[in-house]
Amino acid sequence: MKKILLTGLILLTVSSCGYSIAGFNNSIPVKYYINVVNNNTIDTYIGDIIQLEAERFFLSYNELSSYKQASYFMDINIDNLKYINPILSATDEASSTNISYDITIIVTDVEGKEIYSYNTSVSKSFTITQSVSTALQNKDQALKDSLQDIFTTFRINISPRVYKKS
């Protein structure tokens, strides 16, 4: 019993002195700066949506920073935007369609060396209504939802490369 109490006391003392015990939240924080969003499509405002959603996503994990404080720089490229496969109603009116695009995220370190590149193709459906504003909101929401999935997968895949143990 004395050994258990002594071990607990030592662990408490060591952890309170600023030392971290292996496996307990000892990763060095990663900070990204979104360097550029290259929108290589005809839909000009999609680049703005991607920039905003990327900032929101990485800010929610406290991984967004200014240029000077960044540990990594991120370039995001969007290509091949298409609206495909409209689903027609009995009156030949489109009721839904798919937004499809390719996205590439390239991460470099502070010295400009590429450390990771993530490329994926996405297709997401959205509803078309008679209200143009509602149809545009549905399209924007489909884009935002797909971006959340992309950034989550990206973050999971890059973590072993950028999170270093202290």
Is residue 24 in some structural domain? no
Is residue 8 in some structural domain? no
Give the 3-state DSSP-derived string for the chain, with helices as H, strands as E and coil as C. Answer: CHHHHHHHHHHHHHHHCCCCCCCCCCECCCCEEEEEEEECCCCCCHHHHHHHHHHHHHHHCCCECCCCCCCEEEEEEEEEEEEEEEEECCCCCEEEEEEEEEEEEEEEECCCCEEEEEEEEEEEEEECCCCHHHHHHHHHHHHHHHHHHHHHHHHHHHHHHHCCEC
Taking CA atoms, 124 is separated from 25, 101, 140, 144, in Å, by 36, 9, 11, 10
Beta bridge partners of 77: 38, 104
Is residue 12 in some structural domain? no
Is residue 114 in some structural domain? yes
Give 88-112 pLDDT, tens digit per residue. 555 666 677 888 899 999 999 999 9
Is residue 16 in some structural domain? no
What are the structure tokens assigned to 159, written together?
């973590």
CATH number, residue 113: 3.30.160.150
Q: How far apart are the first and last CA of the chain?
A: 33
Share of the chain above pLDDT 70, in %: 75
Total domains in the chain come to 1
pLDDT of residue 5: 53
Is residue 57 in some structural domain? yes
Ranked by mean pLDDT, which of 72-76, 91-95, 121-125, 126-130 comes out on top?
72-76
C-alpha count within 13 angstroms, C-beta hemisphere, residue 80: 10
Band (12; pLDDT cuts 50, 70, 90) = low
Band (37; pLDDT cuts 50, 70, 90) = very high
Between residues 120 and 83, which one has the greater pLDDT?
A: 120
Is residue 1 in some structural domain? no
Domain that holds residue 82: 30-162
